[in-house]
Amino acid sequence: MSQLPVELKGIVEEFTEVPEADRLELLLEYSRELPELPARLADHPELFEQVVECQSPLFLVVEVAEDADRTVNLFFSAPPEAPTTRGFASVLAAGLDGIDARSVLGVPDDMPQQLGLTRALSPLRMRGMTAMLGRIKRQVSEQLAA
């Protein structure tokens, strides 16, 4: 867990400190906190990449700032009737939005499994979150290389 950024590490600890039976409810709480899209993105679906591995429609935009830290900003679009998908997106937004690109790229690929949800959710749903993280890291890498 040493490679987790402080914000994300705190979220992982929050999940692992609650009883396993309550972790799904915590994920649903996160789903209600997914930030709204800014107006400049809301009307431009062509800017979003779909994460097809998710069981529900999930789209994301990753922006890497030109500042010294190469700050990463994340934007997600997921329907309200997809609380698990929205919860995963919200966890990643809360844990990774606004941090430097190097820290985002250092997040272990198995981070979704560290939340302790593997018994509460299907492997297919877990694969969706892993795919979200993979897309974020790929887009960050591509923008750093550009």
Each domain of the chain, given as residue ranges in start order, spans 6-145
What pTM was estimated for this model as a whole?
Answer: 0.94
Euclidean distance between CA atoms 96 and 111, whole angstroms: 12
Q: How far is the C-alpha of 77 from the C-alpha of 3, rounded, in Å?
A: 27
Q: 47-84, pLDDT tens digit by residue?
A: 999 999 998 999 999 999 999 999 999 999 999 999 99
**Which neighbouring-strand residues pair with 49?**
60
The reported pLDDT for the residue numbered 3 is 86
Euclidean distance between CA atoms 101 and 69, whole angstroms? 7
| Cα distance between residue 29 and residue 7, in whole Å | 17
pLDDT at 2: 47
Angle between helical axes of 83-96 and 123-145 (0-180°, round to 10): 40
pLDDT in tens, the chain (146 residues): 448 999 999 999 999 999 998 999 999 999 999 999 999 998 898 999 999 999 899 999 999 999 999 999 999 999 999 999 999 999 999 999 999 999 999 999 999 999 999 988 989 889 999 999 999 999 999 999 98
Evaluate the CA torsion angle 130, 137, 15, 33 in order and state its sign: negative
| DSSP SS3 for 122 | coil
CA distance 95 to 37: 17
Assigned CATH for 6-145 = 3.90.1010.10
E strand segments, 21-135 = 49-50, 59-64, 72-77
H or E segment to which residue 61 belongs? strand 59-64
Q: What was the pLDDT predicted at 92?
A: 97
